[in-house]
Amino acid sequence: MIRTMGESIEMIFWIISQGIVAVIIGILFQKYFKKKREGIDARFDLGLAIFFIFGFVIYTYYLLCLFFITCEPIFAEIVIIFSIISLIVMVFTIEHVILTKNRYIMTIFYLINFVVILIIGIVTGLGFLVFPMSALNLVLILLLPLLYFYLAYKSTGESRRRAFLFGFGFLFALVGGTFRYQVLEKIAPSLVQLAPDLFHFGPILGMCIGLCLILYTYLKYFD
């Protein structure tokens, strides 16, 4: 299925990104079980692990469908759905562990948007990658890093630094994964034709950078 140099580089970055996610999941569960043995609150580690497990499973299958096996076209829609579910898990974790005074406002907002996307996408038969579903997806994706930037604004010292780094890490990772070539080809075909190779591997390179930043932040600032 690989036809161009850009697709070859894209596949390499996809494999690297999945390797980074596997390392992150392993470290998260290691620290989770260590904290549980020591009686330390480990809910954030567990929520983050579940978020990355969702991403790892769905994007591993996506990688196989993209380069190695033939999958139904509807699979791209399934990727979107599971990505949103993982975002809901992450936002719930933040509000459950850190922003405890929020009364789960962001989680409820995510759930409402998720239901709206499902209803409109299914009823109209347009799927989840076209307007207005694409716009709602983008809002949900960008709100997670913005939530970390809000935490940075409300914090000081080390807490501020780690929130900023997490915010940028999730921004790069989510935007890179969202605006991959296969999505851009549907929403902006004339744009991707300007530099097809760049748009094949550029977004996934951005995702790799974001994942590395998340891994670095977690290792440096979370005991």
Tokens coding 104: 């789960």
Give the whole-angstrom CA distance, residue 178 versus residue 140: 11
Q: How far apart are the first and last CA of the chain?
A: 43
Residue 63 to residues 18, 69, 73, 195, 200, Cα–Cα distance (Å): 9, 9, 14, 22, 13
> In this predicted model, what pLDDT tens digit does every residue of 51-109 receive, in sequence order?
999 999 988 888 888 888 777 666 667 777 888 889 999 999 999 998 888 889 999 99
The string of DSSP letters for the chain reads ---SHHHHHHHHHHHHHHHHHHHHHHHHHHHHHHHHHHT---HHHHHHHHHHHHHHHHHHHHHHHHHTS---TTHHHHHHHHHHHHHHHHHHHHHHHT-GGGTTHHHHHHHHHHHHHHHHHHHHS--SSSTTHHHHHHHHHHHHHHHHHHHHHH--HHHHHHHHHHHHHHHHHHHHHHT-HHHHHHH-HHHHTTSHHHHHHHHHHHHHHHHHHHHHHHHHH--
pLDDT of residue 210: 97
In this predicted structure, what is the pLDDT of residue 123? Answer: 77
| 127 φ/ψ sector (left φ>0, alpha ψ -120 to 50, else beta) | left
Domain ranges of the chain: 5-221
Structure tokens at 185: 């080809």
Q: Which fold has domain 5-221?
A: Rhopdopsin 7-helix transmembrane proteins (1.20.1070)
Q: Which residues of the chain fall short of a pLDDT of 70?
A: 1-2, 72-76, 125-134, 223
Quick one: pLDDT at residue 221?
83
C-beta of residue 110 within 8 angstroms of C-beta of residue 140: yes
Query: Which DSSP string do the residues of 19-52 spell out, in sequence order?
Result: HHHHHHHHHHHHHHHHHHHHT---HHHHHHHHHH
Query: Which pLDDT belongs to residue 11?
Result: 92
Query: What pLDDT is attached to residue 135?
Result: 72
Other CB atoms within 10 Å distance of the CB of residue 132: 13
